[in-house]
Structure formats: structure tokens, C-alpha cells
Amino acid sequence: MNQRVFDRVWNEVRTQYYDPGLHGVDWNAARRTYRPQALAAADDRALYRVLGEMLDLLDDEHAGASAPAVSRRIDTVRQARPAIGVTLRADPGKPGLYVVEMVREGSPAEAAGVAAGWRLDTTAPGVWYPELDVLDGQTVTLALADPQGVPHTVSITPRVMEPRSPFAVDLSRPGVAVLRIDAFDPGLGDWMGRQLAALPSETDVILDLRGNPGGRLVEADAVLSCFLPRHRAWATRTTRSGRAIVLTTAGGCGDLEGPAPNDVAVLVDANSRSAAELTPAALQEARRAVVVGEQTAGAVLISQDTRLPDGGRLSLSRSDFVTAGGVRLEKRGVTPDLTAPVAEREAHGQDPALDLAIAALSGTGAQQVRAAEPAPL
């Protein structure tokens, strides 16, 4: 099985990666180096670390292989399932180390004191690592370190948790609607249309894309269609063949017949990726929204997943992107109009970025984000 998995990954990169030159990487040499290691791997953990090291040669955050256990969690992310309650991101250049991006409210991880920004070390013996399934009621041990480097060995008992809705609206602040979007999942455009249709035109709208890893490109277009005129160019997609395709808004914001007139701000952070970068970039270039928060991740190549023979999956970039203004966001990210470090977000329950966005829309900053007239195409 190891041979089948490795060969599938290697061939997919060779024939399907968006850059046929593979950024100058000698892919045949990579095969000679990593194939023997993959065939000798004793378990999924070892195999997928070998695959990860090989894919790292591409220097592309969208290129990665997920072991079967990880793939199963991805498949059931919108279902009730046993969970620890953390979202992890691999620490670049540090095999076996992960950054805790988010801790779910009410989860076993939160109860154990785990916090965003901590680091998970999966290299120590006897500790949990992502290639292992988590089972209801079966305690696992996590080797963690807080931002000050203080180690914490934490025992956590996973339990079945209902899925968190990927979209939510907060109307608790007068004159402000905060639309939290955790991912660009199917149904987002229709949901956005319903929320916006119910709002008075004078209500300020804040899109919270912090921690959003991206998702379906069609849903990014739907979100943009909520605020930009139909047929407005917002990006150019270039495929492996070199063919350039200009993307224009298709008008898929639910039942809305035209762009919403509300003033708009978008919250982003260093964990906003892919579609969660293309969307604020397009609104920013169109002068339709003020972007608030941190520089985004700079991971905007559009990827597709391939199922591997053992049940794992390969994520691979299939297209390059530049904005309508000709800016390539890969390795660069979106620069916010107003900066608010996310590190302060958890302090005493405060949210400086949200406060700054509200202030920008209610004050002179609103002059920059009024609903624009259709621009020449």
C-alpha cells in the first residue's frame, strides 16, 4: 500500500501541479530520495511525514497529504463526532510540531486549559498525534507549550460534539451586523443573501473571516456578488496550461437582486487563507470595504483534493491567481487598511479588531466604503 500511495502522490504532482516546472524542483531526484523511505515506513504517521517532506520541496502551503485518520475528520467536520476541540496548523519547517490555531468553546481542550497560540509537539513518545483517530471517552495525552515556552502535558478525553455552524450572525450591537464565516462552505451565498435582505440599509456589516481557511471558489464569488455589481472582474486564474481566465461576479447572493447598500468592513488575521484572502482583496481593491486586522497568510493558490488508495488525501494547487489589480497574493497576503493585532483578542474578552472596524464604519472611515457605483469593466 505504501508504494501505491507514494506513486500516486508523485505522479499527481508531476502531471497536475499548476506550475509544470515545479518551481525548479528536480522531481525525479525527489522520487529517488523519498520513495525508499516511504516504502520502509512502518505506519501512517511515518509514511505521511515522508510525503510531507517531499511536498515541502514545492514551498506551497496548499500542497499536502493527509493521513486516513485526518481525512476521516475532514469528511465528518459537519457531523457529530468525537473531538478534542482544537484546530491545528503544521509549524513550517518543524516536522511533528503544530500550532493551535483555535480552541472551540465548550470543548474538552478548553476545559483542559489549552489556548490558541500554544504549540503541540507530536515527536515525544506516547503522545497523541494527528494521524491517530480520536475516540469517544478514550483519553489522549498532548505535549504542549504555551507562547512563553512553558511545557504543559495535558490529558484530554474526547467526547462527541455537535458540529459548529460554519456561518453565524451577531446582531447584539445596535446598528451593526457581524457575519462570522468560518469557511467558504456550500450554501454560504444563499445564507449571506438571507442575512443581508433582512437588514436595514443603514446597518453596518462586518464580515469576520479570521481563522477562515478558505473553501469553495464559487462561494467566494457569491460573497463578492453581495457587494459588487454583476460582471465585475475580481481575479484572474491561470491554469497549468498557461490559460488565463478572468473571474467576474456572477450575482449569486441568494435572492438579492443587486448588491447590498450597507457599509462593509472585513476582519482578517494571519490564519485567513485562500478564498478568505481573495474576498477581502477584491473588496479592498473595489473600495467597497475597509479591511481590519492582521496581514493574511498569503496562501491563495487554488487547490483540489485527490483521494489516495489508503483513504488519505492529497491537496494540490491547480491554479495561480492574481487580483483584478494584478497583485499576486501568494506569499504576500492582504495588507489590512487598519491594523489590530489578534494577540490582544483573548485578553479579558476584548476584541480590538472588531471595535476598530465598528469605529471605522461609524466615523470618517465610512466615507471610503460607501456602496460604489458600477466601475468600468
pLDDT of 277-307, one tens digit each? Answer: 999 999 999 999 999 999 999 999 988 899 9
Q: According to the model, what pLDDT value does residue 343 have?
A: 54
CB 242 within 8 Å of CB 208:
no
Beta-carbon contacts of 212 under 8 Å, excluding residues fewer than 6 positions away, are: 181, 182, 183, 184, 271, 272, 273, 275, 276
Is the pLDDT score of 315 beyond 80? yes
Question: What is the residue-averaged pLDDT of the chain?
Answer: 89
Tell me if residue 139 falls in helix, strand or coil: coil
pLDDT category, 368, cuts 50, 70, 90?
very low
Which segments of 17-80 does DSSP mark as H helices, in order? 27-40, 44-56, 68-75
Count up the domains in the chain and report the number.
3
What is the distance between the alpha carbons of residues 314 and 164, in angstroms, rounded to a whole number? Answer: 25
Q: Is residue 377 part of a domain?
A: no
Q: Is residue 224 part of a domain?
A: yes
Q: Up-side HSE of residue 225: CA atoms within 13 Å toward CB?
A: 26
Domain boundary among 161, 180, 198: 161
Do 124 and 247 lie in one domain? The reply is no
**DSSP summary character for residue 125:** T
Quote the domain boundaries for residue 53.
2-59
> Is the pTM here over 0.85, yes or no?
no
Supply the CATH number for residue 152's domain.
2.30.42.10
CA-wise closest residue to 11 among 45, 68, 51: 51
What is the distance between the alpha carbons of residues 41 and 3, in angstroms, rounded to a whole number? Answer: 10
Do 35 and 171 lie in one domain? The reply is no
Q: According to the model, what pLDDT value does residue 114 have?
A: 93
pLDDT category, 192, cuts 50, 70, 90?
very high
- Looking at 16-25, 333-342, 358-367, which range is the least confident one? 358-367
pLDDT of 98-152, one tens digit each? Answer: 889 889 889 999 999 999 889 999 888 889 888 888 888 999 999 999 988 999 9
Do 238 and 303 lie in one domain? The reply is yes
Q: According to the model, what pLDDT value does residue 96 have?
A: 83
C-alpha cell at 168: 453565524
Tell me if residue 265 falls in helix, strand or coil: strand
Do 91 and 186 lie in one domain? The reply is no
* Residue indicated by cell numbers 478564498: 275
Do 235 and 87 lie in one domain? The reply is no
